Amino acid sequence: MSHPQYLPSLRRVAVCGGTHGNEMSGVYLVKHWLQDPSELQRSTFQVTPFVGNPRAVEQCVRYIGRDLNRTFAPAFLNTKASDSDLYEIQRAQEINQIFGPKGSSQAYDFMFDLHNTTANMGSCLLVNSESNLLSMHMCNYIQKHCTVRHCPILFCQPPGEEANFTMSVAKNGLALELGPQPQGVARADQLAKMRSIMACALDFIELFNKGTLFPAFEIEAYKVVRRTDFPRYPNGEISAVIHPNLQDKDFQPLKPGDPVFQTFDGEDILDDSDDTFFPVFINEAAYYEKKTAFCKTKKGTFAQPAIQKGF
């Protein structure tokens, strides 16, 4: 049996809610934790909750000027922010200053980012890629120990694109994407699930910091490979909706020839790919403007080596 990979202990952990101001589970949890952080406290590390986009939260919208969760790229972080810049560019620089700088040794050890989706994604765990060893072990721990069922792992980093999500500021990260929940609504069931997963994730860090050996494992995960837009009229307006057979079927196999859209004339539009995919973010409200009706993923099994805190 080979040695585990030794990783440094985690000292500073951030929890962001309201990266999108109308995804209410994280907004209300973080506001609660800012008043009463007791349930975040563990003995071996410090946890800092914060509101990602306070102005968007105030107006209960996703963002003011541009999507904060696409703004942590060097082009936005490494220019001098001025008052004339979009609000989210200024805010991304503030967050980078407090919890980063991104890519530096001063950055926070871990960042959680709390999201909701209108899609039927269950309690989805978003990791950049399978090379995020610590996050992958955390996901494995959550799947094995959390009372919340159906926590599929999704790799959110499209191949060839850089990580520009809020959580990319810290050295490691995990985003929670819980749904279905409408924008601007807090459902008690989703709130409770998010809370349970967060508690379990913090327990994992505590155990890791205390020297627990986490053995090697294989785990199933989904990788985004393609985005599919709605059919549109020449003027850009959508000409069809998600087919009733596909609606709410996130993470379920979509086979070539399966119906994917239904036009306003009642015509079915069939999937024209030649392979089976597992669609996610089906009918996510915020993705209409991003020209994404759903994302196609491939399912894979990923082997991860054992880890333990280094000395």
Question: Closer CB to a second copy, residue 12 or residue 32?
Answer: 32
6 binds a second copy, rule: CB under 8 A: no
Determine if residue 23 is labeled as part of a ligand binding site: yes
- Closest contact distance (angstroms) between CB of 198 and a second copy is 13
Binding mask 137-156 for a second copy (x = CB under 8 A): --------------------
Question: Closer CB to a second copy, residue 34 or residue 75?
Answer: 34
Q: Give the CA dihedral 82, 83, 89, 94, nearest 10 degrees.
A: 80
- Closest contact distance (angstroms) between CB of 37 and a second copy is 12
Positions in 216-255 near a second copy (CB under 8 A): 237-238, 241-244, 247
Q: DSSP class of residue 287?
A: G
Burial call 87-99: b when 16+ CB within 10 Å, e when fewer: bbbbbbbebbeeb
Determine if residue 162 is labeled as part of a ligand binding site: no
In the residue annotation, 206 being an active-site residue is answered as no
Question: Prior bond to 180 cis, omega within 30?
Answer: yes
Question: Closer CB to a second copy, residue 6 or residue 288?
Answer: 288
- Closest contact distance (angstroms) between CB of 251 and a second copy is 18
Answer yes or no: are the C-beta atoms of 165 and 175 closer than 8 Å: yes
Give residue for tokens 């973010």.
281
Answer yes or no: are the C-beta atoms of 252 and 244 closer than 8 Å: no
Options 3-11, 125-133, 166-174, 177-185: segment touching a second copy (CB under 8 A) = 177-185
Using CB under 8 A, which of 289, 301, 303, 311 touches a second copy?
Answer: 289
Question: Closer CB to a second copy, residue 19 or residue 118?
Answer: 118
102 binds a second copy, rule: CB under 8 A: no
Binding mask 192-211 for a second copy (x = CB under 8 A): x-------------------
For 194-198, the CB contacts below 8 A with 24+ separation are 194/25, 194/26, 194/29, 194/114, 194/123, 195/29, 195/39, 196/146, 196/147, 196/148, 197/123, 197/125, 197/142, 197/146, 197/148, 197/151, 198/15, 198/29, 198/40, 198/112, 198/114
Question: Prior bond to 37 cis, omega within 30?
Answer: no
Q: Which of 177, 218, 220, 284 is catalytic?
A: 177
Using CB under 8 A, which of 264, 275, 290, 310 touches a second copy?
Answer: 264
Rounded distance between C-alpha atoms, residue 102 and residue 106, angstroms: 8
Catalytic residues: 177
Query: What residue ranges bind a second copy (CB under 8 A)?
Result: 28-29, 31-32, 36, 60-61, 118, 180-189, 191-192, 237-238, 241-244, 247, 262, 264-265, 283-286, 288-289
